[in-house]
Structure 1
């Protein structure tokens, strides 16, 4: 086997970058490690400024041809990529589980089918994209969506392939070329996607993959003057650095950042449903930006709600994510484990009480596994309430009035999502109108339609993607105004 191939659960993965249709090695590498058991998965090419420059050059060279490709042909190629994803769904699911520790059953049933759907949706949307002409004093005004150019897409480790394709599919559909920079903690399925795209017939340089650290490859990519769009999902501090680099070139940004979302449970809610919604927030070991980690419960039902949530949480099975019986797998990295445990220990020291869970217990769990935790007796201005933990840790606060519930929900610097549990439709309308969030769910959670806009308010992000909003971001919109009867025959 080539020195540049690694095998993960029987699946061969190329550890090099894909630049201009060719696999490219780097002088240095970094070790990719599985969070399941700490086993090394491969030595991955460690990109630097040189690989970033080469990828942007390749994307720039491929851009004119791809932008000029008819919409129907671009859509056909994206459908072919979707076909390739579906053919290799099991391989992608197994590799992603080994790489980031998320449940294999979730990858098989939900995550990977949505990856293929991302390509099919934007292929179809591209063919329908358009706007009727405006007429002003007899002048026609035509709106067009022109491809912008090379796009840098930087994706996180918690849903690597899903979020990579959520960005890449509309960027490619719009006629742009792409440089994808996956997280160094979960790079493998991006490499498999490169193989799938190549096999589907995407021209060389249309999709490039550069691996490496954000401080090296990522920093060089976002500062490059030839990059025309940057889409990033990750933390607020990293987003600030990216925005500062992009500002020098006035490169448009789309940023989907952290969350500290509330789940408001009113006394008129179905408490079984509310408890089910709450326990769902432990999905992916709490490593979900949208997770409603702040439980806000109306005082009269707080005790009963807590009892029902505790009953459900203690039934969760924690262990190997490859096991179909497992509900919660490991955290992704030792640094993430230390971060989560630090939040919990500081909260307890400040007076919080653990209803269940609590600090890590190596004797009980070991590895990167962290117990589902619920903390109460927490102050609104405390660190554990205000800052994103990104682990299986929820807080519970109570309220007595609707106004207080809204105040607690909105009294935070984030605004990514919110969930409301109530049996009163009028209350739902009043409350959702006041919540600061990019998405609000009422008596449900994580129901997504690609036709809808997605993004965050406040420090949860800048801009919206999804549906035609994605094309608005990944294109330069142009208005062409033509005078009536303005043609002159110069023959």
Structure 2
């Protein structure tokens, strides 16, 4: 490994570091991997490809960095997080452009929502740690106080969809709690993480508090999660990868959280505002369906099926597929050719199984766009109903009554999110309580308090993120008990 100023490459006019950040220095690797843009599959950059030696160096740096960062007072850590948020806001356009080129996210959405949300994630946790008060009570002549202690180096593994926002969502509580971090972004969209790494240096984080390791998950990621010096692991990705990480975490008795996607039910009752529900249903195609929270299973009361479908088609027909840099574009390309082929494989197998492709169902020649697709399955056991596709593919099923709606909603192994559309407050509360999901929206979508718990049931995940739930995970919890002896 070679340590120095680091290699930089031009990405859409933005200078981006393409090495690892370890112990406050840019570190290269002898091997590299390329990242390409979903728009035309053009080459963007060649990124350092980490290996076992890289992982070892990063964890060693995080161990040293933990001593410095955990010694910061709560106020000092909060100030550093606010400085980082300021820098993110100042680089909004650059971050948005690089992520649009690297992953294909809509540029206007990145600028207006997701980069700002990244800054807000750091501000939220800066405020939470400064506002926190240790729980204290008296019992059995003892004064009891529950304290949080920083846990140690944390490995943070983030996904390729919305990588900047989801990285900040995981990094903010880990850093706020006083842990050093080793951040491993997904190899399909690694560039915005490099810009974030650069900003941590500008924000004055001590060397080793934040470390960035680029590379292939099966290589450097596997080495990171297996290192016994790591004291926390948090991951967003597939259940298959989580099983490997979970085994490594268990071997070292390391707490592990995972957010693993979903197969969200989108339940529409006959008394719902059908146009609002149909419009929102069509917008489940947002980001080409590469959203874990999307309501991909449309469950519609049988008596309104035809009217709902007519309205759904009207709204879906209005969606514009195009270049994500164009403000007129609604639907961007899929992130990678391998993923396009995976999505199309689900649709082809559904056809072979006799499921009815109501609309779409084909890739668009010469691009990574995929037609917004709706499938009516012949059975609730159909693969397209039971497995996460993570593309612009929805299914449509009907139900006869509330009991059947709940049964269908709960009929997969997943349980990340759900949507219920109804005009009845009592039904909303009744069905909302019966649906097994970590998050249930009623008559809305993607509106959330960042201090609320977030996570899934079943194979959608382990543990909860958000607010104090994430801070508790990234801490070792201590109970201090002092004898209340008033005679001394």
Q: TM-score range by the shorter chain?
A: over 0.9
Is 1:154 the counterpart of 2:162 in the alignment? Answer: no
Distance 1:374 1:402 in 2: 23
Are the counterparts in 1 of residues 6 and 28 from structure 2 also a CA contact under 8 Å?
Answer: no
Give CA-to-partner distance per residue, 1:184-205, whole Å, 9 cap, x none: 0000011100111100101110
Does 1:95 find its partner at 2:98?
A: yes
Mapping of residues 398-417 of structure 1, within 5 Å: 398-417=398-417
- The answer to whether 1:189 aligns with 2:192 is yes
Match of 2:468 in 1: 468
- Structure 1, gaps ≥5 residues long: none
Gap runs ≥5 in structure 2? none
Matched residue, 1:7: 10
Q: Tell me the secondary structure at the aligned position of residue 476 of structure 1.
A: strand
Is 1:360 equivalent to 2:379 in the alignment? no
Question: 2:148 touches 2:477 (CA, 8 Å); kept in 1?
Answer: yes
Partner SS state of residue 459, structure 1: helix
Q: CA deviation at 1:107?
A: 0.1
- Which residue in 1 is equivalent to 2:427? 427
The match for 1:74 is 77
Are 1:44 and 2:47 an aligned pair? Answer: yes
Distance 1:475 1:302, change over 3 A: same
Distance 1:74 1:3, change over 3 A: closer
The alignment status of 1:200 with 2:200, answered yes or no, reads no
Farther off after superposition, 294-303 or 57-66: 57-66
How do 1:42-441 and structure 2 match up within 5 A? 42-362=45-365, 366-441=366-441
CA deviation string 1:168-188 (max 9, x = no partner): 111111100000000000000
Which stretch shows the higher mean deviation, 348-357 or 159-168?
348-357
- Indicate conservation of the 8 Å contact 1:148/1:176, yes or no: yes
How many aligned residue pairs are there?
Answer: 484
Q: Structure 2-normalised TM-score?
A: 0.98
Cα 1:361–1:103, aligned 2, differ >3 Å: closer, same or farther? closer
CA-based RMSD of the aligned residues comes to 1.1
- Of 14, 23, 28, the residue aligned with 1:25 is 28
Q: CA deviation at 1:361?
A: 4.0
Quick one: structure 1 residues 177 and 400, their matched pair in 2 at CA, closer, same or farther if it must change by over 3 Å?
same
Q: Report the Cα distance in structure 1 between the residues aligned to 2:361 and 2:42, rounded to whole angstroms.
A: 27
Are the aligned partners of 2:84 and 2:200 in contact in 1 as well (CA < 8 Å)?
yes
Alpha-carbon contact 1:345-1:359 (below 8 Å) kept: no
Q: Segments of 4+ in structure 1 off by > 6 A?
A: none
Aligned equivalents of 2:262, 2:217: Cα separation in 1:
21
User: Contact (CA 8 Å) 1:234, 1:257: kept in 2 or not?
Assistant: yes
Question: What is the SS of the residue equivalent to 2:135?
Answer: coil
Structure 1, 2-11 or 257-266: larger mean CA deviation: 2-11
Secondary structure, in 3 states, of the residue corresponding to 1:414?
coil
Shift of 1:467: 0.6
Shift of 1:245: 0.9
User: Against the structure 1 CA distance between its residues 487 and 46, is the aligned structure 2 distance closer, same or farther, given a 3 Å change threshold?
Assistant: farther
Please state how far the C-alpha of 1:27 moved relative to its aligned partner.
1.1
Q: Contact 1:378–1:395 at 8 Å: present in 2 too?
A: no
Say if 2:454 is the partner of 1:451. no
Q: How far 1:393 sits from its partner (Å)? A: 0.3
